[in-house]
Amino acid sequence: RHPLATFFHLFFRVSAIITYLFCDWFSNSFVACFVTILLLLSFDFWSVKNVTGRLLVGLRWWNQIDEDGTSHWVFEARRVSMIAASTEAEARIFWLGLIICPVIWTVFFFSTLFSLKLKWLALVIAGISLQTANLYGYIHCKLEGQKSIGRITSRFFVTADVPKRQTRISDDCIEEHGKTGTR
């Protein structure tokens, strides 16, 4: 249903990884490679947070700062009927991309650390941070969505049961009053 969103969900992530791996082959400039990869990571973060998460799995998150300076994370999940527009394959691609890429950047972190290429360490940490922030946000969205669905369902059953209880109580009262009236 959303092939363009699925494409860009993977495009920026994979492009950043491939550019990181093969940048030395195409350019001798560390600054050009650093800026290119950082831009790809930033485009990925923005597109996943603001577009693909909403379209592919019906989830959104953001950080809100109040006037007094306190920071609040806000998690939003669409109802299940609204998500039916996206396919199961798109949701699977979304979650696999969201989980696998931070793992790859973590591997890059250890390889950069052990090979003593410390100038790349800041870039790898930025990659881990941006990827992990999206993963954290969407996991909480998913958990909050399941909690809210549970709350909605329990409220539905409680409110659906209330009229039955009220009729039972009123029937019992009528029976008692009827019995007392006949005595």
The tokens describing 167, both together, are 């009729």
Q: Give the number of domains in the chain.
A: 1
For residue 61, the model assigns a pLDDT of 87
CB contact set of 104 (below 8 Å; sequence gap of 6+):
17
For residue 72, the model assigns a pLDDT of 86
Measured between alpha carbons, how far is 45 from 1 in angstroms, rounded to an integer? 22
For residue 127, the model assigns a pLDDT of 95
Question: 163 lies in a domain?
Answer: no
- Please state at what angle helix 30-47 crosses helix 121-182, rounded to 10 degrees: 10
Question: 24 lies in a domain?
Answer: yes
Could you please report the per-residue DSSP string of 98-122? HHHHHHHHHHHHHHHHHTT-GGGHH
For residue 170, the model assigns a pLDDT of 39
For residue 15, the model assigns a pLDDT of 96
User: What pTM, to 2 d.p., does this model score?
Assistant: 0.72
**Residues spanned by the domain of 127:** 3-147
Q: Which helix (H) or strand (E) holds 87?
A: none
Question: 155 lies in a domain?
Answer: no
Measured between alpha carbons, how far is 17 from 23 in angstroms, rounded to an integer? 10
Question: 165 lies in a domain?
Answer: no
pLDDT tens-digit readout, 92-128: 999 999 999 999 999 999 999 999 988 999 999 999 9
64 contacts 99 by C-beta, under 8 angstroms:
no
Question: 181 lies in a domain?
Answer: no
Neighbours of 163 (CB within 10 A): 9
| Sites in the chain below the pLDDT cut of 50 | 82-83, 85, 149, 152-153, 156-183
Question: 79 lies in a domain?
Answer: yes
60 contacts 53 by C-beta, under 8 angstroms:
yes
